Amino acid sequence: MSKKKPSYRICKSLDNYLNSYKRKIEIPIFYSDLKRFSGSVSVFNDKNIDTLWVRVFYSDSERKEIDLNLKKVYNLLHSDGNENNIKFLNVDAIDYCTFGNSKPFRIKIRNILNDNFTYFYVKQADASRIYGLEFEHILSPYNLNFLVFDDTLIEEHITGIPGDEFYENFLPKCNDSEKAQIAKEFVKFNERCMIRLLGDMRAYNYVIIPTHDFDKVVYKIRAIDFDQQCYEGNLQIYRPQFFKENDVIMKIIKEKLEINSVNQYKIEERSILAKRILSSRGRTKEVINCMIRDNISEKEKINLLSRQIYELTGDISFKMAKGMGEIMKASFDYISRNYENHEMLSID
């Protein structure tokens, strides 16, 4: 896997797409404005371990304006932009991530009337990430809210327990039935990532969401990092099962699920994804067309990926693909065609 993925600018066709679906909205503050902090302190978790986030501070002359503008951004992201509630909002913290490609700012907003709080992120706009966010919104079980303006991306917080934290602190307390259910969800999540070419799903790049349902807890898995959408050439990067950080859950899968069950869950996920592609055909096609006109990877990576998927599927469309957009189109066409022909087979 590449040590650092470059950031790709938003092309004209993607910019038009974002504007047509109200993702492009003028905002009062930019990522570069938040970079002008005057000091910071490390943020530690409840076990006194450094989180690699730092809490940043600004001069008195800037903090008041920054806080006001962040409240306005919050309203644009979560409401209609009306500013009547601003006096009830408080910016409790601005944290800066010191690792990874996107180096985001995490904003904690609190309602002073009831002490409820939420987060959102301010990041540098990157075309790869935006494609990933849009595919997540259209094709995953979840909607996703984000805004883009010039070189700044505003992204809502996705709630859940980070995978690495869940495996360490919660998985050992799960009973056999719950472990089997989590194993099933990871199989489906793994398949979803491979089909839509969402890479680098190590345990800290997705969350596990427990939901109480009558007398049991249902677990779902959701990606939270979309930086590695359609960039790497090695197909294994798009299959979470191959990351050592996921060895814990892979062991559970081998213990709790029979191979026939694993194959069935893969087919189920491919069928569900095919239905979503077909039901949102127009919007999905628009995103794919933007990608086809765009350049979000390198020639050698594109050639490697197209060859590997061709060897896996035997579909000539992958071999003929000249860009990541064409590979994505071939992937979606492949599972849609197989679904319509009742030939939805598990691929390994």
Closest CA relative to residue 332, chosen from 139, 132, 136, 201 = 139
Containing 209, the helix (H) or strand (E) segment is strand 206-213
d(CA 231, CA 128): 8
Is residue 348 pLDDT above 70, yes or no? no
Tokens at 291, concatenated: 């990608």
- Count other Cβ atoms within 10 Å, centred on residue 144: 18
Tokens at 160, concatenated: 């859940």
pLDDT of residue 2: 57
Confidence of residue 3 (pLDDT cuts 50, 70, 90): low
d(CA 246, CA 172): 15
**What's the pLDDT tens digit per position in 137-151?**
999 888 899 999 999
**What's the pLDDT tens digit per position in 234-281?**
999 999 999 999 999 999 999 999 999 999 999 999 999 999 999 999
Kindly give, in sequence order, each residue whose CB lies less than 8 Å from that of residue 16, ignoring residues fewer than 6 positions away: none
Name beta bridge partners: 222.
Answer: 207
Q: Are 168 and 208 in contact (CB under 8 A)?
A: no
Kindly give, in sequence order, each residue whose CB lies less than 8 Å from that of residue 47, ignoring residues fewer than 6 positions away: none
DSSP H helical segments within the chain, as ranges? 12-20, 31-34, 60-78, 127-139, 163-169, 176-196, 247-256, 259-279, 281-293, 299-313, 316-320, 324-340
- Widest Cα–Cα separation across the chain: 64
Is residue 289 pLDDT above 80, yes or no? yes
**Segment 94-100 mean pLDDT:** 88
**Segment 184-213 mean pLDDT:** 96
d(CA 137, CA 146): 10
d(CA 106, CA 144): 17
Residue 263 phi/psi, 5° resolution?
-65, -40
Residue with tokens 């489906």: 188
Is residue 347 pLDDT above 70, yes or no? no
